[in-house]
Amino acid sequence: MKKKVFFLAVILVLVIAGMSLRNNNVSFIIKRARLNSVVDYTVLKYRIYILGLFPVGEIMLNKPVEADFMGKQVFRLHAFARTFDYLSKIYQADATLDSYIDKASSVPLFFREELIAKGKKSVKEVSYDQKKLVMKIEGVERKILPSTYDPLSLMHKLIKTDLAATKEIKMYINSNQKNYVFVAGLIYSGSKIMNEQNNIFTIDGKIKRVDKNPYHQTSLTIKFLKKDENIPLLIRVFAGGMLVTARLTEVK
């Protein structure tokens, strides 16, 4: 009986390890999403995993579109995230994010987050004055640092950055109250998939409070495929003892 239990445990560990390796393998992601044949896209679709193994939701990241914001022509960034239906009895939520960014600098002018969780809706709106270095949230002004981003505009900036010419990334973030800084290094690796050379860049860094509070830190790793712009293949976030990953599954 003990041998049987041990054998089943070994099989389970091997299956879990195999799933984890597949979910985090960039070659598998590129093949599955057929990125070698992608010329352009309008939506990037990601599956969210807890611990890199258990699928709990999905994210849709739209390509920027031109929009009018308070009489000024800007780019509108849009993303939508939701938990899967099978989790409805435990926890169900969906979130809509919109960021209106300056065309020239890509810094945000306005950020909106709408969250529906357990049937309750909450909305957060943040306006940025990047010249005066202030942001306003719920009628309260707070000081920000030069070129401060929200989470959506931060990702957009990374997608547009020439990673081959970049040695280190340092970006400020604030979409709530406190100023954070994202500092990361880059690693380049090439891979040949389906007879095509792919340029993979890995950004590996931490998001920390600018006031150096040691209890508010998040590790962030993103693997990009270099095309006309950088396509995020895999995103890993480790915060509060929990690992969450997002894997690209579809390009439309």
* Amino acid 126: pLDDT: 98
Determine the Cα–Cα distance for residues 102 and 11; give it in Å rounded to an integer.
53
**Contact call for residues 183 and 218 (beta carbons, < 8 A):** no
* Run of H or E residues at 58: strand 54-62
Low-confidence ranges of the chain (pLDDT < 70): 1-24, 36-39, 191-196
Closest among 178, 119, 167 to 144, alpha carbons compared: 178
* 99-129 pLDDT, tens digit each: 999 999 999 999 999 999 988 999 999 999 9
* 170-190 pLDDT, tens digit each: 999 999 889 999 999 998 887
Determine the Cα–Cα distance for residues 23 and 190; give it in Å rounded to an integer.
19
Q: Which residue bears the tokens 């915060």?
A: 239
Longest CA pairwise span in the chain (Å): 74
Q: What is the DSSP letter of 53?
A: T
